[in-house]
Each structure stands twice: as C-alpha cells, then as structure tokens.
Amino acid sequence: MLFLEPRKHIPLRLTIAMPIVSVAITLILGGVIFALLGYNPAHALYEFFIAPLSRPAQLGNLLVKACPLIIIGTGLIFCYRANVWNIGAEGQLILGAMGAAWVALSFPEADSRFLIFGMGAMAMLGGAAWAFIPAILKVRFRANEILVSLMLTYIAALLIDWMVRGVWRDPSAFGFPLSRAYPEAGLIPLMPLPIIGNLGQLHWGVLAALFVAVLGWFCLARMLVGYEVKVIGAAPKAGAFAGFSRGWITIMVMLISGALAGLAGMIEVSANIGMLQPHISFGYGFTAIIVAFLARLNPLGAIAAGLVVALAELGGDAAQISMNIPKVVTGIFKGILLFVLLAGETLTRYRLVWRGAG
C-alpha cells in the first residue's frame, strides 16, 4: 500500500522544481481538455496566462484582484499555524465591510482623510468581533470552530442583505438594494505612478496588503507571539509544558484573522464599489484558504500565492469573453491548476512509500 511519509529534509532543488512541474502538468492537462471541447489549446492557454499580463493596466488589475486574497490569506495563516481552523473569513469580511459602512454613512458630509482610517479601524473591529464568536465557543464549550465559523458566514450574508434592503437602503436607488454612496473621503483613491500613470484600477489598498503580509511574516518569524503560535500548533503538549495558553492563542489568532478579513472587506468596498450592496465579495474568504496553503503557511508566500490565484481568476474571465468558453469549463481548468499546485506542495513535504500489506 502507498503511504505519505514526511521528508526529513526537503532539498532546495525539489522546492524550486515542484512548482514548475506542477504548472507544466496543468498546461498539458488544460490543453487536452480544451482540445477535446473543440477550443484552440494555444489560444485558450494564452488567454489564461498571458492576456492578464499583456498590458500595464492588466497588471494593475491583477494586483487589485490579489489584494483581498493576500490580506485574508495572511490572517488565515495565523490560524492554521496554530491548528485553529477558521473557515468563516467570508462572513468576517462582510461584517468588516458593514462596520466600515456604518462609519461612512454616519458622516456623509465628511471631507477629512481621517475618515478612511476610522472606517478601517471599525472594519477590523467588526471582523474580529465576528471571529470572536467561534473562538470563545471553542475555548469555553469545545464547539467545533469549523462548523461555527462557516454557519456564521451565512448569517452574515443574510444580515448585510437585510441592512441594504432596509435601514441602509438609498431612497434614490429606484428600489435597488444599495446603500447611499460613500463620501469622497471614504473612498480609497487610485495609485498614480509618476512615469507609467495609473495601472488600471491599482489603488493604495494594494500597498496595505503587502504591508500586512510583511508584518505577518515578521510577527511569526521574529516575535515571541509567533513562536507561541507555531509551538501550540505543532506540539500542543510541549506548548502547555512551556506555559503557553492554548485557549489564549486560539482567541488571539481568530481575532487577528477576523480583523484582517474585515480590513479586506473595507478595502474591497471602498476601493472598487463605493457603496454597500448585498454581494460585495467574489468568494474571497473561501478562496483565501487555498492561498494560505499554496503559500506554505508563510505570509510572504501569500503574496505570490495570491497573485497565482488572481491570475487564474482573471484568465478565466478573459477566456470567457474572448473565446466564449463556458464558465464551467474555465472553472474546471482553475480547479485543475489549484489541485495540481496543492498536490505538488504535498509531494514536496512528503514522499510516497510502498509498504506491504503484511
């Protein structure tokens, strides 16, 4: 029988080669699928991997797409390093966006740039509060955080739908479930570059995402709290013997993850939408789970992983528009890409061993 056995030492050449091999396998499988369905494989692969990077504006849009994935993925890495399974980042994103909207809609005439910082603070508070519920239930009552955080996501989706159809509905929106537009001070502006100019929809929130990833890496790699998180996740008994509190670590990483998801919600709405509506996310909270593991639970790796996943998303959209490829087909190809990358990551950490039945 085949078993997965952890590698005692991971060679550098394997770490470098496996992602390249994974992408090559994806290209071959994708080309075969597109050919069987009657599409030009070369053209389809071009639309997936080259078209989203063919123009400077497209590059900016790629960074914008990756922005919430990097922020949320960094927060989830804290949880997964501590062996705490937060699956509800999507709901925490929604609550963060609602917290930011409450601030923006409470000061419709505001013209100070401090408004955006207040919105960010309230967004992080809202996301953290929503994440605190499964955290405290796990610590006090041993409730399964996977189920609780996931169920709270659906409650959050219903809550924002109720708010924008009721209390926060704009009377001048012709009956559509939309809030009033945020004041100018509550919007994240585009990022001008002196020589190139604006790169598509590139905004200042992208810099915030990169800062979050770097800060997350510093906390996990260079601070005592990061050491506690890793010890509790890898060896709970050793952590308890050292005096680390598993309950405190659980609450802390959930609060960090929820706060970052809430911040991502605020940035997504303030930079790209400008008002609250029932659907403000494209499943970023769930997709960021893949980003966290593709990054090997390293916040710096979340930058590259977020860009890879965002490239697959933009490539799928480009293929649908230019080649009329059905969404389900592009979804299959993106699934193959992510599956092969995750399989490559697994084979980097483990090796296949054959053991006899006896």
User: What is the per-residue pLDDT across 75-119, written as a single tens digit (0 to 9) for each?
Assistant: 999 999 999 999 999 999 999 999 999 999 999 999 998 999 999
In whole angstroms, give the CA distance from residue 271 to residue 214: 22
Selection from 40-44, 166-170, 341-345 with the highest mean pLDDT: 166-170
Instruction: With beta carbons less than 8 A apart as the criterion, state whether 101 and 269 touch.
Output: yes
- Among 4-13, 176-185, 221-230, 248-257, the range scoring the smallest mean pLDDT is 4-13
Q: Which one has a higher pLDDT value, 356 or 42?
A: 42
- The string of DSSP codes covering 36-91 is HTTS-HHHHHHHHHTGGGSSHHHHHHHHHHHHHHHHHHHHHHHHHHTT-----HHH
pLDDT at 18 over 60: yes
pLDDT of residue 207: 95
| Domains of the chain, residue spans | 70-307
pLDDT of residue 56: 76
For the chain, give the percent of residues with pLDDT over 90. Answer: 59
pLDDT of residue 194: 66
- Is the pTM for the entire model greater than 0.75? yes
- Residue 354: strand, helix, or coil: strand
Q: How far is CA 258 from the centre of its chain?
A: 12
